[in-house]
Chain A
Amino acid sequence: MDDSQAIRLLREGDIAGLEVLVQRYQERAVHAAYLICLDVEMAQDAAQEAFLRVYRRSEQFELGRPFAPWFLRIVANETLMALRKRKRLLPLVGEAAETSLPDLSPSIEATLLTAESHAALRQALAMLSPKQRAAVVYRYYLGLSEAQMADLLGCPRGTVKRRLYDARQRLRQILSDCAGTIIW
């Protein structure tokens, strides 16, 4: 069953259509959300909320067009919204302090090196603003063009370029201390 067939089922009130989409896209959705919020629980909540929005608003999807970009934009919006809500609840907690480093299991040297790379990358991402992280995820993880990002974010293309440039510069600066860990 392809995505459009699943959406048709949804529109007919058949929840089996939603299950197909969940099984197909849940991992990518949670990963994209995690890269923006750096919080596993929040990422899973945001992805779940995004699927529920698809369920409620399946009629807004244009059949025949690719489902993934449309859906992953909803995931990103949900994540940014969740971050804004948390910021209102915890206004005095610094963003980097809110998140915890992933558990590492350095069983062999190679694994340790890889884990160190991921930890460094995660720490670097944590030092970006949520919008800068979203820009990085849109561009490099979801593979959107700058024009698509401008359309999604509702801002001029120049603003997108600037946000990406700032994010890249900041990441390069942060990662320059972690020699040989991440290749950009």
Chain B
Amino acid sequence: MNKIAQNLSEMAHEAVGPVDLWPGIERRAPRRSRRARWMPASRLGWAAVVALLAVLLTTAAYAASPLFVDVYLINPSWNPDAASLGHSVDSSQTIDGVTVTVEQIYLDQERILIETSVTGPQGMSLAHSGAELYDGQGLLFPWIDGAGHVELGKVTWVLAFDATPLADPLAEREFELLLNVNGIEVVEEARVSPNSTEGESGAGAVELEPLSTSNYGPFRLELRIPGTVTDAP
């Protein structure tokens, strides 16, 4: 350990003293919200969900902005007027060339919708991963689902969270949105190994290269909205 690290370490040790975080952590850890059974467990699973939703949304006759309408159309019991009731938010963060922006938020007594856009390198298929929403006191709002538009290098997405943990629905609110972004490089053509010959495999050996994936984040966006609430439909 060099002298600087040693000085810093000694200073911290002297100031902090003995540390025992486990009792406090053990009390709070069981409050973890577990992933629903139907949610994908891997990045490839998420990519499949993104691709499926993109196909569904782009082929549906009513798939158009604003995106709040889209996400509400997935569940007909929800209020499609949410598209005009959102609060505009301007919060963004860029990490390694990938930018996550929160465009607007809508909430009522049952759900919180957050419209985000993610832009990144051209030729990269992007997807959210592990989105979590907390309020200023660290209260976790369970994730419900999401919907949006996907194109290479850009995703516009609405994330829906369960608003029922809100204790005081009329108060001004601060939220913290945490998420990661997974990027998968889209390979347009199969790459032929320069060492392969037609004689080796009979039809020309095609070497499949593994997908190039990248992880960005964690992104952390602080959001503040005024203290009004819309009655749930």
Contacts and interface: CB of A to CB of B under 8 A. Distances in A.
Nearest to B34: A13
A18 to B, nearest CB: 6
A138 to B, nearest CB: 11
Nearest to A18: B29
B11 A122 contact: yes
Interface in B18-67: 19-22, 24-26, 28-30, 32-34, 41
A57 interface: yes
Interface string A88-119: 00000000000000100000000000110110
A44 interface: yes
If over half of A's interface residues share one DSSP class (helix, strand or loop), that class is named, otherwise mixed; here it is helix
Contacts of B91: none
A154 interface: yes
Most buried by B among A19, A31, A117: A31
Interface string A24-59: 001100111011000010011001110110011101
Interface in B119-141: 129-130, 132, 136, 138, 140
B190 interface: no
A121 B5 contact: no
Interface in A158-184: 182-184
A141 B8 contact: yes
Contact of A34 (B16, B24, B180): B16
B25 A18 contact: yes
B96 A59 contact: no
B14 interface: yes
Contacts of B95: 154
Contact of B21 (A26, A122, A183): A26
A137 interface: yes
Contact of B14 (A13, A102, A151, A184): A102
B13 A31 contact: yes
Contacts of A48: 21, 24-25, 28
A31 B30 CA distance: 26
A140 B130 CA distance: 31
A87 interface: no
A141 B3 CA distance: 10
Nearest to B224: A88
Contacts of B218: 60, 77
B7 A121 contact: yes
Contact of A52 (B10, B28, B129): B28
A63 interface: no
A22 interface: yes
Given A23-B22, A26-B20, A48-B24, A140 B29 contact: no
B10 A118 contact: yes
B93 interface: yes
A22 to B, nearest CB: 5
A143 interface: yes
B34 A35 contact: no
A32 B5 CA distance: 11
Interface string A137-149: 1001101000000
B41 A35 contact: no
Contacts of B26: 15, 19
Given A34-B15, A115-B14, A59 B130 contact: yes
16 contacts: A26-B19, A26-B20, A26-B22, A31-B13, A34-B15, A40-B17, A43-B16, A52-B25, A55-B25, A57-B132, A85-B136, A118-B7, A140-B5, A143-B5, A183-B3, A183-B7
Interface of B: 2-5, 7-17, 19-22, 24-26, 28-30, 32-34, 41, 93-96, 129-130, 132, 136, 138, 140, 176, 180, 215, 218, 220, 222
What 4 pairs across the A-B complex have the smallest Cβ distances?
A31-B12, A154-B95, A118-B11, A102-B15
